[in-house]
Amino acid sequence: MNFLTNISTTQQADKELVAAFKQSGDILDLSKLYQRYMDLVFGVCLKYFKDSERSKDAVMDIFEELHTKLKLHEVDNFKGWLYVLARNYCLMQLRSPRNMKTNEFDAELMQSGEPSHLHNEAVQKEENLTYLEGCINTLPADQKQSVELFYLQKKCYNEIAEITGFEWNKVRSFIQNGKRNLKLCMDQKHANS
């Protein structure tokens, strides 16, 4: 049972030092508290930065940040709160613009963004939709109705069977055959253009 009293004493001591620092603003109280967890903070920084010198600098920067932030926040679990503070500090450093790596790119390797390029894609898409519409109209009536309900109106097999009066297996067959016939029709139209 002796180990339980040590844990609660340490936690109480953390709370007491936090309270003492908030009340007096004495940096000595804060440094006593921070020294207990400097290894934790260093470990967090090392995990993110993967550089011991940068991590050492971050430990000092976090102490300075701690001096102002601890006064602003109500802290019940100092160790957990400090861990989150250290993690957030590291993430913010990694996201800062000076840490972003940029590469030059060769404009010749990039896809053209000119309006003519975009216009050609739009024209091609419109032609495909026109072909598709024409191909749908060539399907037998039962396939056409089933395909339109399934693909255009997003109905399930059961709903199509209910709407059309076809058996469920027939609906499935009409959709599969209709899809195959549409593909054949589209391939033929593209081959002719």
Residue burial 146-169, b: 16+ Cβ < 10 Å; e: rest? bbebbeeeebebeebbeebebeee
Number of C-alpha atoms within 13 angstroms, CB side, residue 144? 10
pLDDT mean over 72-79: 87
Least confident of 88-92, 113-117, 176-180: 113-117
User: What tens digit of pLDDT does each residue of 6-25 get?
Assistant: 444 455 588 888 888 888 88
pLDDT mean over 103-108: 62
User: What tens digit of pLDDT does each residue of 22-54 get?
Assistant: 888 888 888 888 999 999 999 999 999 999 999
Query: Is residue 188 predicted with pLDDT exceeding 70?
Result: yes
The pTM of this model reads 0.47
Q: Could you tell me the domains of the chain?
A: 2-97 (1.10.1740.10), 115-192 (1.10.10.10)
In the numeric block, which tokens belong to residue 120?
């050609």
What span, in angstroms and rounded, lies between the C-alpha atoms of 134 and 152? Answer: 15
What span, in angstroms and rounded, lies between the C-alpha atoms of 67 and 71? Answer: 7
pLDDT mean over 140-150: 90
What's the confidence (pLDDT) of residue 120? 76
